[in-house]
Amino acid sequence: MYPNRWWFWASALILAWLLAGSAVAQTVVSRLNLVSGPERTRITLDLSQKVEPHTFLLADPYRAVVDLPQVAFRWAEALPTPAGGPVAGFRHGQFKPGTSRLVVDLRQPMQIVQAQVLPPGSGQSWRMVLDLAPITRDAFLAAIGTSSATAAVPPKPPQPTQDGQMPRRSDGRRTVILDPGHGGIDPGATGVGGIREKALTLEIAQDLKRVLEASGRYHVVLTRTDDSFIRLRERIQIARQAQGEIFLSLHADALADTNFRGMTIYTLSDKASDAEAEALAQRENKAELIAGVDLTDESPEVASILIDLAQRETMNLSARLAGHLVQELSKEAQLLRNGHRFAGFAVLKAPDIPSALVELGYLSNRQDSQQLVQPAYRRRLGQAILRSLDQFFKSRPGGRAG
């Protein structure tokens, strides 16, 4: 009666088998062990299944990097915090989709003697063994000279129209880029109660996107939408590819002085407004170092923070944007006495997009960190930023806000 019935069940079985196969359990990394001797340092990782590690070295500061296919770091016990010896510490997290990374900070040049994954012994898990041995700086530099990372070619920026305005979207909305600071292997600051900058900035960016888009006047693109590491230059590339007309980077710093609180708006400058702004920019620019990115092959223009002529006009617009932000945000939040400051932030270096970095508050301060997780406070911040953007576009010659 139904000659195709057999085929139906056969296909269903094959489909079920394929679905089961695609849901392969993620590898769990559960333990990190460190043994340091004068001649050899051994780091072991316990793994729930076999993975293929990729290891390499980076200089200044000295680091050994282990890349794994995406794994879950679920430590059964706290990571070692070595007070002496060649290993200074460990960082780990997602480096990019599909890749997890462990960065081993070294106090001296070391070479990788072996990196292999051993099958489980009796009652044990798979184990990755990384052996390091001291070498001279010259030998270290010669060893990393063999690495070949190719620098990405920056995409062509959108061309301004005749009246100097960036091309508008066909639906008339302005494109705003929100850049949640940090992510993945780079956690940013940690504050009161263990609150993490990378998680907070992502949540606030998502809230802010909803507020801005609800106005009908803005199209919002986030530089990251999950807990992944994005390089500073990639954030700028995302903004330019999306034809962003405004770039807002969101951060929340932490300081040793827990009494310090308040919001600050930063724009790019090759001369910092004050020593604190300078130190902050240095901390925020460290993302690449934290994540173990190889910068040796990058062109000096990209690596340098010097500002070229093309950026001058954008810098004036950025300063105006900051002025509007300070004016509106000061109605809702406590701003530092000097609400608008400037320094050499690498992430603000898009030559053609007015950019500002908002330090939302200090996670080291109890009031600031409590406030930043309150939905009502976030809504007020969102409304204030919406008003500042409206004013910015109204005040731009030839520009209209919605």
List interacting residues with Zn ion (CB under 5 A). 181, 188, 251, 284
Residue 46 vs 359, nearer CB to Zn ion: 359
Least Cβ distance, residue 284 to Zn ion (angstroms): 5
For residue 89, what is the enclosing H or E element?
Answer: strand 87-96
Residue 157 vs 188, nearer CB to Zn ion: 188
Residue 181 vs 354, nearer CB to Zn ion: 181
Strand order in the sheet with 246-253: 218-222, 174-180, 246-253, 355-362, 263-268, 335-343
| Cβ(252)–Cβ(261) below 8 Å | no
Least Cβ distance, residue 187 to Zn ion (angstroms): 10
Residue 284 vs 352, nearer CB to Zn ion: 284
Residue 249 vs 388, nearer CB to Zn ion: 249
**HSE toward the beta carbon, residue 25, CA cutoff 13 A:** 7
> In terms of C-beta density within 10 A (0-12 exposed, 13-18 middle, 19 or more buried), how is residue 239 classed?
buried
| Cβ(208)–Cβ(278) below 8 Å | no
Residue 188 vs 292, nearer CB to Zn ion: 188
From the CB of residue 207, how many other CB atoms can be counted at a distance below 10 Å? 16
> In terms of C-beta density within 10 A (0-12 exposed, 13-18 middle, 19 or more buried), how is residue 3 classed?
exposed
From the CB of residue 83, how many other CB atoms can be counted at a distance below 10 Å? 6
Residue 58 vs 360, nearer CB to Zn ion: 360
Least Cβ distance, residue 385 to Zn ion (angstroms): 18
Residue 165 vs 258, nearer CB to Zn ion: 258
Least Cβ distance, residue 260 to Zn ion (angstroms): 15
Residue 290 vs 329, nearer CB to Zn ion: 290
From the CB of residue 194, how many other CB atoms can be counted at a distance below 10 Å? 7
50 DSSP assignment: -
Residue 117 vs 279, nearer CB to Zn ion: 279
Strand (E) positions, 312-363? 335-343, 355-362
Q: Annotate 270-295 with three-state secondary structure.
A: CCCCCHHHHHHHHHHCCHHHHCCCCC
Least Cβ distance, residue 182 to Zn ion (angstroms): 6
**CB-nearest residue to Zn ion:** 251
CB proximity list for 31: less than 8 A, separation 6 or greater: 44, 45, 46, 75, 76, 77
For residue 211, what is the enclosing H or E element?
Answer: helix 197-214
Least Cβ distance, residue 318 to Zn ion (angstroms): 18
Least Cβ distance, residue 148 to Zn ion (angstroms): 31
Least Cβ distance, residue 357 to Zn ion (angstroms): 8
Least Cβ distance, residue 252 to Zn ion (angstroms): 7
Question: Rounded to the nearest 10 degrees, what angle do helices 375-395 and 310-329 cross at?
Answer: 130
Least Cβ distance, residue 229 to Zn ion (angstroms): 13
Here the tokens at position 102 are 């462990």
